Structure 1
Amino acid sequence: MAAVPPVCDFGWKAPDFSLPATDGKTYSLSDIAGPKGTLVIFICNHCPYVLAVIDRIVRDGRDLQELGIGVAAICANDATSHPADSFDNMKVKAEEWGLPFPYLRDEDQSVARAYDAACTPDFFGFNSDLELQYRGRLDASRREAGPDDLRRDLYEAMKQVTETGLGPREQVPSMGCSIKWKAA
């Protein structure tokens, strides 16, 4: 079922974390943070919304890193109910997709809860002070990738953050599969 995250809560401070990555290292928020801003993306291995645009997520992540934005992706889905999202499968996907940024496992889902992540993909764009400035979509793609010439909403917003410290006031929320929460 499709989920839509809330609109951007401008100025909200990024919660810290320490999570294992598919590259064998453990990363905290300070390890990820870039000099011009930080992008935290909640994705997973099986979501059709993610799979439709993973090439664009990789492209935009790489392009944003070149602008001084630190980038990381986090998978928080329950791997018991959704084995495709296991840590071993994350390692396979990180290599298959050629992720140019760390792919982190939020096994206990505490980071996803701290960020109030709603769906995959869910984008959290912070300025250099780790204040939220973007919680919008990648582009106008939905369950299928849109045309190649779509406006790059995420990239343009985060480019603006690198130049001004502020994100655009008008943002269109992302849409994707809901986070697969563990049973209480």
Structure 2
Amino acid sequence: MFICNHCPYVLVVLDRIIRDARDLQELGIGVAAICSNDATAYPDDSFDNMKRMAEERGFPFPYLHDEDQSVARAYGAACTPDFFGFNADLELQYRGRLDASRKEAAPPDARRDLFEAMKQVAETGQGPREQIPSMGCSIKWKDGA
């Protein structure tokens, strides 16, 4: 997943991201987060602040810094949060949302789109046919990048 420290879309669902990451890991599904934002223009997204957030929130997954933004470009990441789910053959099977949350959290009983999709991928190797794109803040690209 592509996330960052300052995006209101990420912050409103961060507890759900952590919950779903733990639940996916219990199913043997790997989870990682990447921050690709321009930390010069957005200092909240600096590596030091990323480390601080990961420690304070108890991230159960690596939170990686894509300083040169090459990873975001390779994935075609567009926003934060942006979720990518792969099968065991490293084929993209899910590019959708966490749940129905927007700038406000969805109801507590909202369908867990990412979790359910990745559970299906783990069981069948295939993602769901219907996928709703994630919505969030755009990746903060460096000038000239």
TM-score range, shorter chain: over 0.9
Secondary structure class of the residue paired with 2:83: strand
Return the alpha-carbon distance in structure 2 between the equivalents of residues 149 and 124 of structure 1.
23
Return the alpha-carbon distance in structure 2 between the equivalents of residues 76 and 156 of structure 1.
26
Return the alpha-carbon distance in structure 2 between the equivalents of residues 163 and 114 of structure 1.
27
Cα distance, 1:95 vs structure 2:
0.9
Indicate yes or no: 2:10 matched with 1:45.
no
Cα deviation digits, residues 116-153 of structure 1 (max 9, x gap): 10000000000011100000000000011111000000
Return the alpha-carbon distance in structure 1 between the equivalents of residues 84 and 21 of structure 2.
12
Secondary structure class of the residue paired with 1:69: coil
Aligned pair partner of 1:141 in 97, 101, 111: 101
Cα distance, 1:163 vs structure 2:
0.5
| 2:66 paired residue number | 106
Return the alpha-carbon distance in structure 2 between the equivalents of residues 109 and 161 of structure 1.
28
Between Structure 1 and Structure 2, which shows a larger proportion of strand residues?
Answer: 1
Aligned length: 144
| 2:126 paired residue number | 166
Dislocated runs of 4+, deviation >4 Å: none
Cα distance, 1:97 vs structure 2:
1.4
Aligned pair partner of 2:15 in 55, 70, 73: 55
Structure 2, unaligned stretches of length 5 or more?
none
Indicate yes or no: 2:44 matched with 1:84.
yes
The Cα RMSD (Å) is 0.4
| 2:79 paired residue number | 119
Indicate yes or no: 2:136 matched with 1:176.
yes
Structure 1, unaligned stretches of length 5 or more?
1-40
